[in-house]
Structure 1
Amino acid sequence: MRDQLEDAHKHADAGFGQAQHMNQVELPKRFYATVDVARGDDGFAVTLDGRATKTPGKKIPVVVPVLSLAQKMAEEWAEQGKFINPATMPMVRLINSAVESGAEMVPAFRAEIGKFAASDLLLYRADSPQELVAEQEQIWDAVLVKLARKFDVAFQPTIGIIHQPQPVSTLEKLDAALEGQGLLSLTALVSITGLTGSGLLAIALLYQLVTPNEVWAAAHVDEDHQIRLWGEDDEALERRAKRRVEFDIAVSVVEALRQEAWMASRLT
């Protein structure tokens, strides 16, 4: 089970480091001419020269329930040149990871998000400098207040890194907030959690309590403070930009599935 969780977490680190690794290995040659999207009984699949794609490891057919997700995967396949570079295919990698994990991983993914929320980025504060303290209070407290009002929970932030247990009822209600989320959604939420270091931000995003840009800003309060103090580092900026691509892809999966669920509810 842990191996499968780590596989899902690859999307949290699938930016600069993984791209560098992929650039060092021999990439497979492109073997197809045409890319299309086909609709079947179970959903939508990308086809390469008329043949539906499968995951690279377990060779499981890749089918998604939402057309926009299949279209994005098709776009990534179509944009490949002479060689196929997985580093440039974040949607394909995220969906493949979900498909290969399998539905049996749903409880584990929920638990992983809950584990982050129990010792969340937003709950551990700096004691200095005052500028950083104020920024954390302003940005992070705003998210905590929205979550507290939405789910009728309470948080216990602390200063420093010594573990501060959160109320059991709070963690139970946050876990319940993930009930009903399927494999694709939870895979994307695990990715968002890993990229931001925050299960609370992932849950707030799921319920549209915050925007994606607000999530990204909240996740980088400390880093942005350091940049203002010491200046920008080109390699760090490149790594952050690549992680933002992974983040945006995961967000688009959550939003597409939310829209699909909303449309389905209107038809019932």
Structure 2
Amino acid sequence: MLTTSRKLINYIKNKSEVKNIFRNYATKNRFYKNTGILKSDGKFEVTLDQRKLKTPKGNLFTVDSEPLALAVATEWNSQKKKIIQSNMHITTLCNTVIDNPNNLTKLDVVNYITNYLDTDTVLFQANEDDDLIRFQIAEWDPIIDWFNKRFDVSLQKSTQMDVPPVSEQDKTTIMKHLMSYNFAAVNGFMYGVDTLKSVVLTLALIERFLTPEKAVLLSRLEEEYQIGRWGRVEWAHDLNQQELQSRLAAVMIFVYFNSQSQKVQTKHIPV
């Protein structure tokens, strides 16, 4: 008799879900001992045992920031026997910028982020559950108020998805702010928005008004409310929350290092 797991594999083996499962969890053995960085033509590269790191499309991995290169090298160095690329968020962000698989311009990315305001998580609040509404008002409204003051806009929350809460003037203001960043940084913003489903929370994160932990909780407010009522599956909830926090920490590092002209300087101690 087949085991339960074998039956499950036979049942879904011809389904597209199988490809997604193995794609998401595909790993390979670590093939290098040491990682490092080097400078070439004003840019920084990452090495794996003297081999230069390349992107998924075969491009040479180069970044403008030395601290960013060190962060990527650290991600590769932190891999143990298996290389789990799905956990290396900074590397993933860098690869996306270098390869640019969708041939996006900075304006394309900024337009995507700005238009996301029309469905921003914190701008649409419940209209059926009074307790949930009070919870959202207590947690989300202070963030909206901060955002409006910080960026001189007037975002309005809504209880109906067919009522746009953001004016074109406010969108233009946010667009100008985002356009002040370089192409790499706005890709970091987009990664954050896709993670949190919120432009407001992402900008609050980058501005350090929120920590990654708090941003994740606010993005999952309704889920947290339901968990408070019905309980939670501890391990599943904790793993998901930690994964989101890891993504957001990577976003903060990535945007910061792509917005600063920094190099690592070694202190010279007189002998």
Normalised TM-score (structure 1): 0.80
1:243 aligns with 2:244: yes
CA–CA distance in structure 2, aligned partners of residues 147 and 89 of structure 1? 30
Q: Mean Cα displacement is larger for which, 91-100 or 208-217?
A: 208-217
2:39 aligned partner = 39
Q: Kindly indicate whether the alpha-carbon contact (under 8 Å) linking 1:22 and 1:85 is maintained by their aligned counterparts in 2.
A: no
The one-letter amino acid of 2:54's match is K
The one-letter amino acid of 2:248's match is F
CA–CA distance in structure 2, aligned partners of residues 78 and 29 of structure 1? 13
CA–CA distance in structure 2, aligned partners of residues 194 and 214 of structure 1? 16
Deviation at 1:165, TM superposition (A): 4.8
1:188 aligned partner = 188
Per-residue CA distance 1:200-236 (angstroms, 9 max, x = gap):
2222333344443442232121121111011112334
The correspondence of residues 150-189 of structure 1 with structure 2, limited to 5 A, is 150-189=150-189
Q: Kindly indicate whether the alpha-carbon contact (under 8 Å) linking 2:182 and 2:258 is maintained by their aligned counterparts in 1.
A: no
**CA distance 1:56–1:165, change in 2 (3 Å):** same
CA–CA distance in structure 2, aligned partners of residues 130 and 160 of structure 1? 15
CA–CA distance in structure 2, aligned partners of residues 141 and 132 of structure 1? 13
CA–CA distance in structure 2, aligned partners of residues 201 and 113 of structure 1? 12
**CA distance 1:262–1:43, change in 2 (3 Å):** closer
SS of residue paired to 2:161:
coil
- Identity across the alignment (%): 21
The one-letter amino acid of 1:255's match is Y
Per-residue CA distance 1:57-105 (angstroms, 9 max, x = gap):
2x11222222222122112222333443212322212211121117853
1:253 aligned partner = 254
Q: Point out the structure with max Rg over C-alpha.
A: 2
Deviation at 1:178, TM superposition (A): 0.4
1:105 aligned partner = 105
SS of residue paired to 1:46:
strand
Q: Kindly indicate whether the alpha-carbon contact (under 8 Å) linking 1:127 and 1:133 is maintained by their aligned counterparts in 2.
A: yes
More helix by share: 1
Q: Kindly indicate whether the alpha-carbon contact (under 8 Å) linking 2:65 and 2:262 is maintained by their aligned counterparts in 1.
A: no
Q: Mean Cα displacement is larger for which, 200-209 or 33-42?
A: 200-209
CA–CA distance in structure 1, aligned partners of residues 24 and 147 of structure 2? 41
Unaligned runs of 5+ in 1: 1-16, 264-268
CA–CA distance in structure 2, aligned partners of residues 262 and 138 of structure 1? 39
**CA distance 1:125–1:178, change in 2 (3 Å):** same
Q: Mean Cα displacement is larger for which, 83-92 or 180-189?
A: 83-92
**CA distance 1:209–1:79, change in 2 (3 Å):** closer
**CA distance 1:209–1:46, change in 2 (3 Å):** same
CA RMSD of aligned residues (A): 2.7
Deviation at 1:124, TM superposition (A): 0.6
Per-residue CA distance 1:23-63 (angstroms, 9 max, x = gap):
654x3343333211112333322111223211012x11222
1:78 aligns with 2:81: no
Q: Kindly indicate whether the alpha-carbon contact (under 8 Å) linking 2:93 and 2:188 is maintained by their aligned counterparts in 1.
A: yes
Q: Kindly indicate whether the alpha-carbon contact (under 8 Å) linking 1:119 and 1:163 is maintained by their aligned counterparts in 2.
A: no
**Larger RCO (CA within 8 A; separation ≥ 6):** 1
The one-letter amino acid of 1:81's match is K
**CA distance 1:228–1:238, change in 2 (3 Å):** same
1:21 aligned partner = 22
SS of residue paired to 1:125:
coil
The correspondence of residues 64-75 of structure 1 with structure 2, limited to 5 A, is 64-75=63-74
Q: Kindly indicate whether the alpha-carbon contact (under 8 Å) linking 1:52 and 1:61 is maintained by their aligned counterparts in 2.
A: yes
SS of residue paired to 1:177:
helix
2:232 aligned partner = 232
How many residue pairs get matched? 244
Normalised TM-score (structure 2): 0.79
**CA distance 1:180–1:54, change in 2 (3 Å):** same
The one-letter amino acid of 1:68's match is P
CA–CA distance in structure 1, aligned partners of residues 255 and 100 of structure 2? 17
Q: Kindly indicate whether the alpha-carbon contact (under 8 Å) linking 1:143 and 1:210 is maintained by their aligned counterparts in 2.
A: no
